[in-house]
Structure 1
Amino acid sequence: MAGGGWSSLPADLLKEVSARLSSDADLLHIHQVCHHWRAFTSLPAAFRPWVVTGRSGRTGLEPIGEYSLRLPRRDAQRLEVRAPPAGLTYCCGTSRGWLALVDDDQSPTRLVLWEPLSGTEISLPCLSPLTRIFISDDPLTSSDWIAIAAQIKGEIGQKTLFWRPGDAAWTLMNERGTCEIDTIAFLQGKAYYIDIQRNIIICDLSTGSSDPSPKVTPIFFACFVVNKLCRCHRLHAVRGAHLAVCNGELLLVVLYWGSHPCPAEVYKPIWTPNQRLELHERVRDLGGHSLFVGRGDTFALSATEFPVIKRNCIYYADIPCNKPYWISVFHLETDVVEEIPYPEELNCMPYGWFCPRKPFLKQP
């Protein structure tokens, strides 16, 4: 190195450094240093995040079949990663860079968390029937991660259960149930989830070992608070309400139909002692991040670390009825909405956002 400086670093050292980088932007920068560095480092084969798509069942509450990983753009390019575990042909979760897979959408007998880049598998006790799986942290980097499962209750309701590594079985979390769960956000030992009727449930997962069941706090009449946010002369219907965590804070994202002057609004929710929701402080700057929301997993990503995303935006994955687009990008600063057209030949639905744990590198 003394003669040629940084440009003469040994190839094996460059490969080791490159393999330790977790940011798409860092990989892009290291690859652009010089010809020598480009020769021994790899660019991401596809920048993150991605979308999981598939075919939904009769009710839309079952795990999806024929699932695939795709880029959130007009051509919806399919990403070819390693083959999933044999027999697990249905997907029921997309959290933290892991896919939750089962062997049947109606009566599953196997449930596995699968990390598609490394092929790592983690078996969980199987529930039947099963709607969706969420996990609080990355199982490969956290020792106290928790899985939450949603099961059908009645015709349109859902109940929740949780599981910790080492548990022999799932523990009931909220037997009372809610409507179909939309999103779950985890923050400081608590799980916050909201259903399609905008009911909000707070579950304290840090309870002691003497009582393994978490304390469950319902937030009453949250839907009325959300619906009253629009003060336009003509009322705009709420398209979606989602919980997400960004910069260590819990946020509530509200999306509107029609020509609302602010088609996406972000608030810091406040819970009152009498279990009510209040929304006072509106968030207009996400601090260089953007939020990815929709059904299932929600997360925040830094526009600095993920070079293909735009800062201070809400990325929303959904196919509205009779609309030709499947990704909507809401710019919080300008209130502009970009719509990404839906490729008709795809013939499947966006199931949820998916951000791999590490960059997906091109194979040498």
Structure 2
Amino acid sequence: MGGWCELPGDLVRTIEEKLDLYQDKVKCSCVCRSWRLALPKMPHQKQHLLPWLLVPLKTKTEIGSGTSFGFFDPLDKKLHCLGLSDPHKDMLFRGSSHGWVVNLDKNNSICLINPLTAAQVELPPRTKFPDVANYRPNKPGREYGLRGETGPRFFTLSKDHIRKHFIQKVIVSSSPQSDEDFVAVAIYGQFSELAYCKRGDKKWSFLDRGHWSDVIFHQGQLYAVGSDGCVMIYDIHSSHSKKTEFVPKLRERVASRFYLVKSSVGLIMVYRRIKTLQQIGVSDPDSYPIYMYKTKGFRIFKLDTTRGEWHEIQSIGDDMLFLGWNSSISLSCKNFSQHTGNCVYFTDDNITYHYEGIIGGFDIGIFNFTDGSIQHLPCCTTNDSELSIWPPPVWLMPNLIN
């Protein structure tokens, strides 16, 4: 008897026709390449599909020791093997959008991967960012020479440190396989600046200076929110990347992480409240302190278009938000009978705490605006005393078409 991948195409199509649920049809196409080629192209019905959580199949005892991954489907609440392997045995996710996840290779490469089709698209490497003055691979531990915020002064850092802490997020404007003119945007560097590249570019182009917290593509333009709540709009498809101030900073002073989300009520800004729980290693003055942290909750700000100001709201109604390394997602619970709205599904993206020796990768859960409660995702049940999930999981919207 032959293996599953050797089934005749007409038999594979008969199996697929017996499946009623869209997510089951997606999983059928994920069995192997021959099945995917034998099955008809499927419409990308986002309204009937929740984002999947791309996770390491096991919690690891050492950062970067994971070699395979799976996805958690919130609809059936099960963890499925994905078959995504890492030839470098050290994957690190720093973004997802349009069904593609961004992986930072330990050898400076930045790659877009479609986990379901195994397609890959290379972006310019980390050595081609605007903050890099020089790259010296023959200087272990000091490979990168980086420019300071102003002036010619520069400093050196290791490529491992740059990889883990100097790219906060990368998103794309559209699927790189369906759009020849896709644009990738990165929040990078010591001061969270913006850079972008287009298909065929050999390097990243500088876009703007400032402490940026999140970026999304909305109505054909790039929206960026700063650490003070200020929102700017960039027309990066034009030759001069025109910039416009959309909303000034918040009147009240808050300092944490912001997200921009396209929701049913329009563009909203989400503020994530983080609490440091404890500090380990302080008894030894020579040891590096280790912080434990946890998300306390979220606050939602809606734009008052008449005044051009943010105003806090207490509910997002039927919406479910998915936040983290991914390009932020909002879906209505009306299409999913077993799910309730007015909540945030979040993953650990607090890069400030992800330094060597500092525990991270466990701040994952579901926040409910109705009662302020936070619960674990079934696939991520680690507690504060256990080892972290590394690399931290990332939400992505499955996409078999592109």
Same fold judged by TM-score > 0.5? Answer: yes
Q: In the alignment, is residue 337 of structure 1 matched against residue 378 of structure 2?
A: no
Shift in CA distance, 194/342, structure 1 to aligned 2, threshold 3 Å: farther
**Do 1:24 and 1:305's aligned partners in 2 also have CA atoms closer than 8 Å?**
no
Instruction: Provide the rounded CA distance (Å) in 2 between the counterparts of 1:82 and 1:138.
Output: 22
Aligned equivalent of 2:105: 103
Shift in CA distance, 314/171, structure 1 to aligned 2, threshold 3 Å: same
Report 1:13-32 matches (<5 A): 14-17=14-17, 23-24=22-23
Instruction: Provide the rounded CA distance (Å) in 1 between the counterparts of 2:180 and 2:336.
Output: 27
What's the offset of the Cα at 1:157?
Answer: 0.5
Per-residue CA deviation, residues 86-142 of structure 1 (Å, 9 max, x unaligned), is: 3373324231232222332xxx44222111121111122212256132112223344
Shift in CA distance, 247/110, structure 1 to aligned 2, threshold 3 Å: same
Residue type of the alignment partner of 1:136? S
Percent of aligned pairs sharing the same letter:
19
Instruction: Provide the rounded CA distance (Å) in 1 between the counterparts of 2:124 and 2:319.
Output: 36
Q: In the alignment, is residue 300 of structure 1 matched against residue 330 of structure 2?
A: yes
Shift in CA distance, 165/325, structure 1 to aligned 2, threshold 3 Å: closer
Instruction: Provide the rounded CA distance (Å) in 2 between the counterparts of 1:324 and 1:140.
Output: 31
Residue type of the alignment partner of 1:252? M
**Do 1:252 and 1:267's aligned partners in 2 also have CA atoms closer than 8 Å?**
yes
Instruction: Provide the rounded CA distance (Å) in 2 between the counterparts of 1:142 and 1:71.
Output: 28
- Secondary structure in 1 matching 2:341: coil
Count of equivalent residues: 293
What's the offset of the Cα at 1:147?
Answer: 0.6
Shift in CA distance, 163/247, structure 1 to aligned 2, threshold 3 Å: farther
Instruction: Provide the rounded CA distance (Å) in 2 between the counterparts of 1:143 and 1:248.
Output: 31
Per-residue CA deviation, residues 201-244 of structure 1 (Å, 9 max, x unaligned), is: 3322242xxx2x412345686243464xxxxxxxxxx7643211
**Do 2:230 and 2:249's aligned partners in 1 also have CA atoms closer than 8 Å?**
yes
What's the offset of the Cα at 1:312?
Answer: 2.7
What's the offset of the Cα at 1:299?
Answer: 1.1
Aligned equivalent of 2:193: 159
Aligned equivalent of 1:114: 113
Aligned equivalent of 1:278: 309
Shift in CA distance, 240/337, structure 1 to aligned 2, threshold 3 Å: farther
- Secondary structure in 2 matching 1:139: coil
Per-residue CA deviation, residues 20-65 of structure 1 (Å, 9 max, x unaligned), is: x99438889xxxxxxxxxxxxxxxxx9742155799x9xxxxxx84
Instruction: Provide the rounded CA distance (Å) in 2 between the counterparts of 1:192 and 1:90.
Output: 28
Aligned equivalent of 1:232: none
Per-residue CA deviation, residues 266-305 of structure 1 (Å, 9 max, x unaligned), is: 3322578xxx96124737344x431112355321234355
- Where does the alignment leave 5 or more consecutive residues of structure 1 unmatched? 1-9, 29-45, 58-63, 228-237, 360-364
Tell me the TM-score normalised to structure 2 length.
0.57
Residue type of the alignment partner of 1:173? L
- Where does the alignment leave 5 or more consecutive residues of structure 2 unmatched? 1-9, 28-48, 128-161, 276-295, 354-358
Instruction: Provide the rounded CA distance (Å) in 1 between the counterparts of 2:24 and 2:123.
Output: 34
Tell me the TM-score normalised to structure 1 length.
0.62
- Secondary structure in 2 matching 1:178: coil
* Aligned-CA RMSD value: 4.5
**Do 1:252 and 1:268's aligned partners in 2 also have CA atoms closer than 8 Å?**
yes
Instruction: Provide the rounded CA distance (Å) in 1 between the counterparts of 2:274 and 2:117.
Output: 40
Shift in CA distance, 324/15, structure 1 to aligned 2, threshold 3 Å: closer
Report 1:305-324 matches (<5 A): 305=335, 309-318=339-348
